Amino acid sequence: MSSVRQWWIVLLALLLAGTARAEDLVIPGSGNPEYVLDQLARAFNARQAQHRIVIPPSTGTAGALRDVGEGISSVGRVGRLLKDEERKQGFVFISLGRDPVVIVGGAGVTVRSLSAAQLVDIYSGRITNWGELGGKAAPIRAVGRENSDASRQAIAKVIKPFQEITFGPGVKTVHLDPQLIALLDRYPSSLGMLNRSALAACTTRVVHLALDGVDPTPENLEKGSYPAWVELGLIHKPNGLTPAARAFLDFIRSPEGQRIVRQHGILPPGMAG
């Protein structure tokens, strides 16, 4: 009798210890939602002690697909909608919202707007100096992205020549958003493209250029007048959400989570024009 009771106590203690232990949920993947997710994670971690969300440096959407696919992580972060073959592999997409892709200049750039054609000319190597565009003379340090990159694909969707562009010799190609941000910060006359919320990670006063005269604001995106955007989201496998993941998703959908999302210029799901 007493031994049975002792075993019950031990079992109960183990269960309590199990529930009490905080789960570290690492959400690897794309750089596009990195900044906003990091902000959400900080708020979530501050609100409760049971789970801890970790947003590691970007490994790209491919990294998210790989890690979730191999079961290394239960949730991954992506900067685009899933492709058909990815959905067929069983990935489930949870949208965080739409984020405008911004044509961004370094802190020293004085030009405030670029046309699509000018952008194509810059990246093709035909225009190399801001002076040619009416700005203060400085070499245009154009930073390109791989054609698999979400931001580049968002631009290429709007500016068709971008789909088959060959970058000029002076254009450098980086893989990840933080690398782009580092170059934007280092080269005042640089030029790149990145979703708006991620640019919050820049340490210098980077310049958001209007595309064909339309500013990349959430308002313009919501109105539908600004055409380039990425769909930020999280992916997981069916029934693959851990309690921590569910709690974090609940937090994102909570008013506070939505406030943080909006604060970073992201148009929540279903709000886009």
Shortest Å distance, C-beta 186 to other proteins = 7
Q: Which one-letter amino acid corresponds to residue 119?
A: L
Buried b (16+ CB within 10 A) or exposed e, 86-118: beeeebbebebbbbbbbbbbbbbbebeebebeb
Beta-bridged to residue 49, according to DSSP, are: none
Residue 129 to residues 53, 81, 133, 180, Cα–Cα distance (Å): 43, 35, 7, 19
Look at residue 124 and give its three-state secondary structure: helix
Q: Are 260 and 36 in contact (CB under 8 A)?
A: yes
Give the Cα separation of 260 and 54 in Å (integer): 17
Give 204 or 242: the residue with its C-beta nearer to other proteins.
204
Give 110 or 128: the residue with its C-beta nearer to other proteins.
128
Give 173 or 258: the residue with its C-beta nearer to other proteins.
173
Q: Which one-letter amino acid corresponds to residue 99?
A: D
Shortest Å distance, C-beta 3 to other proteins = 39
Give 134 or 170: the residue with its C-beta nearer to other proteins.
170
Give 185 or 222: the residue with its C-beta nearer to other proteins.
185
213 Rama class: left (phi>0) / alpha (psi -120 to 50) / beta? left
Give 50 or 148: the residue with its C-beta nearer to other proteins.
148
Give the Cα separation of 239 and 169 in Å (integer): 48
Residues that bind other proteins (CB under 8 A): 59-60, 62-63, 66, 128, 138-139, 141, 146-148, 170, 172-176, 179, 183, 186-189
DSSP designation for 83: P
Shortest Å distance, C-beta 156 to other proteins = 13
The burial of 33, by beta-carbon neighbours within 10 Å (0-12 exposed, 13-18 middle, 19 or more buried), is given as: buried
Give the Cα separation of 79 and 99 in Å (integer): 9
Shortest Å distance, C-beta 172 to other proteins = 5
Look at residue 192 and give its three-state secondary structure: strand
Shortest Å distance, C-beta 60 to other proteins = 4
Shortest Å distance, C-beta 272 to other proteins = 27
Shortest Å distance, C-beta 188 to other proteins = 7
Give 181 or 261: the residue with its C-beta nearer to other proteins.
181
